[in-house]
Amino acid sequence: MNNNDIINKKRDDILEFYYDDLSLANNFSAIISNFYNELNNNINVNNITQEYISKKEMYPLKTKLNFNDTIEIATNFFNEINVDFTNYFKMRMHDQNNITFGDNPKANADTRKLELTKYGDLRDLYTISHEFTHLFDSKNNNLETRRVLTETCAQSMERLLDSYLLNLTDEQLLKYNIDKKILQEDILNRRISTFFKRINSIYSINNYRNFNEKAIDSGYMLAQIYSTNFSTLPYSQQKDIINNLIHNVNCNNFENAVNLFKLDLSKNNNNRNNILQNIIENIYNDYELKIQLEENKILK
Ligand SMILES: [Zn+2]
Lowest mean pLDDT among 58-72, 144-158, 204-218, 253-267: 204-218
What's the pLDDT tens digit per position in 13-23? 899 999 999 99
Report the separation in Å between the CA atom of 107 and the middle of ligand 1, taken as the mean of its atom positions: 8
Report the separation in Å between the CA atom of 105 and the middle of ligand 1, taken as the mean of its atom positions: 8
Report the separation in Å between the CA atom of 129 and the middle of ligand 1, taken as the mean of its atom positions: 10
What's the pLDDT tens digit per position in 21-57? 999 999 999 999 888 888 777 777 777 877 887 766 7
Report the separation in Å between the CA atom of 146 and the middle of ligand 1, taken as the mean of its atom positions: 12
What lies within 8 Å, CB to CB, of 213 at 6+ separation is 204
Using DSSP, state whether 42 is helix, strand or coil.
coil
Would you say the C-alpha torsion 218, 223, 226, 229 has a positive or negative sign?
A: negative
Residue 297, pLDDT score: 75
Report the separation in Å between the CA atom of 62 and the middle of ligand 1, taken as the mean of its atom positions: 22
What lies within 8 Å, CB to CB, of 181 at 6+ separation is 293, 297
What's the pLDDT tens digit per position in 227-243? 999 999 999 999 999 99
Is the confidence at residue 207, as pLDDT, over 90? no
Report the separation in Å between the CA atom of 42 and the middle of ligand 1, taken as the mean of its atom positions: 34
Is the confidence at residue 1, as pLDDT, over 70? no
Q: What are φ and ψ of residue 179, in 5° steps?
A: -85, 125
Residue 204, pLDDT score: 87
Q: Are 281 and 288 in contact (CB under 8 A)?
A: no
Mean pLDDT of the 191-197 span: 93
Report the separation in Å between the CA atom of 137 and the middle of ligand 1, taken as the mean of its atom positions: 11
Report the separation in Å between the CA atom of 154 and the middle of ligand 1, taken as the mean of its atom positions: 6
Residue 56, pLDDT score: 66
What are the boundaries of each domain within the chain?
3-299
Is the confidence at residue 298, as pLDDT, over 80? no
Q: Which residues have beta carbons under 5 A from ligand 1 (an ion)?
A: 154
Residue 299, pLDDT score: 61
Report the separation in Å between the CA atom of 220 and the middle of ligand 1, taken as the mean of its atom positions: 8
Report the separation in Å between the CA atom of 40 and the middle of ligand 1, taken as the mean of its atom positions: 31
Spatial CA neighbour of 128 closest among 120, 116, 140, 136 = 116
